[in-house]
Structure 1
């Protein structure tokens, strides 16, 4: 299992006068340290108008800067928001190719649909987001490998144009898809691209099911969107390592986990997102044609009636507007192994759980909420010492 690192670039209130400059410079410092310690890849998210929750609004620029201060660590754009009003596919292809050259061929590129508030800000019809992301997946490898490119669909008409430059990596960088539902894991596998998921609120059994859907879909993949199949599953979760379990809690780990949980559900308008996902799943469940692997899985899950975990009950309370104490949120998530927090030995044991699930890349989300920069740097060092135990030839 590769050990990677993931960042949102968070800056909660109260703010100092230089908080924006500071979070950018601290991110660069953290990336340089991660590179020196042997982390596999630095993954930079894309969000807009997220304020406290994420200052990573121009990840391609942040990654370009990081590329000039690192040597071996790969650079993951996780993920380009694919609907066309966010990023036209030509611009995505151009920027990615430039970044691949600047980094000496270290780019990994993911695509995502984004979420309700960002769709609203950019005036994007939600019902077209999955189809537009699918088109982007099919277009990008052709733009990177064909001398001239053409494409015609309902939203885009491109006629015989050269896309320059071409990527440094041949035939092109590995492709990934951000996944948060059963349908998206199936889509990633069907496309032959890597799956980027999150375990922070999912019990182990659910993660295992997602991985199973992805593996089966990619096993059946006969026409990958790219020139090769990227058969990898990656998950990110909150990671904070300190000298002792007690020190990790004194650093503010419980408060950070609760702040991120509440912030995610607020920014992403989680209640509405869950309802939209539920509606999509119901359509697949009732599809006369069967709904593919996702429809089959949903019917099997309905027959099982899986038990609700304490963490899921807590999340439901948060979505109803209840102010759940930080320690209770942390305990619920920790109980289902959704967090990796504690001493090096505690973190080692929890990381082994992820390895046993069959995850190929663990994205350690370490700069979270109000955790001090010094504590984040120390955590990056402590996890760095564990990398050789997991990332073996």
Structure 2
């Protein structure tokens, strides 16, 4: 099992405090830290990283082992040469620790509107942008003539340390994006806002497409994001998170997480979400929930969301510390015994 975590905003965190949390993840034994690209938030306490590659460079300079994940860079909003250069620079600075996640669009239409990109352009810009980035990383010189990008013959430096290029992960929930990722052998992110039956359907669609493209399952790990909160007792965890978590889902801002569950409003109760989308509880319960995910969706890489803009950073850090002290070691020991 591998364990990563997202660093996003909380009710009280500043930029420096979130950076310290990211760096602290290495000391706690996490394998990776992940940064989302977000724009135009009306709540300054929420996901704070409009430039995740810049943030990743700072984290890389302060750590030695922790992998730095971008989850994800929105390719349709920027020129692919900028993205290729910045990401390769981060890979070089980090000594080859970049995990590069990509997305076609932002979490709502305001992203595209704000950057002057029409909805009809996003897939074409995304696909052309990805082609250019991969060429920039793997070829000495490139040229490109597409519908959205025209590039004369140029040399793009630096080249990433990881060969042939840093691992690429795709935010993919639509059949088109899942198919594109599978065709290239790239893993997809499994979103936290999916209950287990939906996760299983997404995985089934991806595995079929991957095998049809000629890639074996054994070469791909699908990172699965889950909402996590650990407390000393079950009662404390369940009580402390009910109001903040439901407020987190019903945030009434530029997007509503509930929409991503593709479930009717009446089924999105705290009890259902607690059982099917969250890992909230005391350490023993959290271990059992992860073991359930191992059995039901073959979980191998868990990405934890500890931060919620409805609770203080101090509370998030305590949950993160309990998870690293009491939950992660169970799976590290299991891996060592099996090895």
TM (norm. structure 2) is 0.88
1:199 positional shift: 3.1
2:2 counterpart residue number: 2
The secondary structure found in structure 1 opposite 2:264 is: helix
List runs of 5+ in structure 2 lacking aligned partners: none
Q: Does 1:218 align with 2:210?
A: yes
Query: Runs of at least 4 residues of structure 1 off by over 3 A?
Result: none
Q: Give how far 1:247 is off.
A: 2.5
Shift of 1:96: 0.4
Q: Check the 8 A contact 1:174/1:230 in 2, yes or no.
A: no
Secondary structure of residue in 2 paired with 1:364: strand
CA RMSD of aligned residues (A): 2.5
Once residues 368 and 9 of structure 1 are traced to their aligned partners in structure 2, the CA distance between those partners, rounded to angstroms, is 7
Of the three residues 76, 88, 92, the one matched with 1:101 is 92
Does residue 203 in structure 1 map to residue 154 in structure 2?
Answer: no
1:206 deviation in Å? 1.3
Give the length in aligned residue pairs.
327
* CA 1:90–1:32: 2 relative to 1, 3 Å: same
Q: From the superposition, tell whether residues 214 and 34 of structure 1 become closer, same or farther in structure 2 (CA, over 3 Å).
A: same
1:242 Cα deviation after fit: 1.1
| Residue aligning to 1:241 | 230
Structure 2 residue matching 1:193: 3-state secondary structure: coil
- Give the 3 Å change call, closer, same or farther, for CA 233–157 of structure 1 in structure 2: same
Displacement of 1:109: 0.3
Matching of residue 268 in structure 1 with residue 255 in structure 2: yes
Q: 2:264 aligns with which of 313, 317, 335?
A: 313
Query: TM-score, length-normalised on structure 1?
Result: 0.77
CA-to-partner distance for each residue in 1:286-333, whole Å, 9 max, x for gaps?
Answer: xxxxxxxxxxxxxxxxxxxxxxx9x923278xxxxxxxxxxx742231
Structure 1 pair 209–56 and aligned structure 2 pair: CA distance change class (3 A)? same
Once the two structures are superposed, residues 193-250 of structure 1 have per-residue CA deviations (whole angstroms, 9 ceiling, x without a partner) of 11012133x2211111111111111112259xxxxx9622112121111111222245
The whole-number CA distance in structure 1 between the counterparts of 2:264 and 2:253 is 17
Residue 350 in 1 paired to residue 289 in 2?
yes
1:257 paired residue among 245, 261, 264: 245
Q: Determine if the alignment matches structure 1 residue 372 to structure 2 residue 316.
A: no
- The aligned runs of 1:159-174 (5 Å cut-off) are 159-174=152-167
Aligned position for 1:389: 330
Cα separation, 2, equivalents of 1:135 and 1:360: 31
1:340 match: 279
Once the two structures are superposed, residues 69-93 of structure 1 have per-residue CA deviations (whole angstroms, 9 ceiling, x without a partner) of 222111101100110xx22100110
- Report the Cα offset of residue 136 of structure 1: 2.2
Corresponding residue SS for 1:80: strand
Q: CA distance change for structure 1 residues 388 and 181 in 2, over 3 Å: closer, same or farther?
A: farther
Segment of structure 1 superposing worse, 144-153 or 368-377: 368-377
Contact 1:35 1:72 in 2 (8 A): yes
Q: How does 1:148-163 map to 2 (within 5 A)?
A: 148-163=141-156
CA distance in 2, matches of 1:360, 1:177: 17
- Partner-residue secondary structure (3-state), 1:155: coil
Aligned-partner Cα distance in 2 for 1:182–1:350: 28
Whole-angstrom distance in 2 between the partners of 1:37 and 1:168: 26
Q: Which residue does 1:193 correspond to in 2?
A: 186
Distance 1:148 1:124 in 2: 28
Q: 1:134 & 1:49 partners in 2: Cα distance? A: 24
Report the equivalent of 2:67.
74
Matches of 2:266 and 2:308, distance apart in 1: 19
Question: For residues 277-296 of structure 1, what are the structure 2 equivalents within 5 Å?
Answer: none
Distance in structure 1 (CA, Å) of the matches to 2:243 and 2:256: 21
CA deviation string 1:348-385 (max 9, x = no partner) = 11112222212332110001123222221111112113
Q: What is the CA deviation profile of residues 92-133 of structure 1, one whole-angstrom value per residue up to 9, with x for unaligned ones?
A: 101101111111110000110223121121121112212222
Q: Does 1:138 align with 2:120?
A: no
Q: 1:89 aligns with which of 80, 86, 95?
A: 80
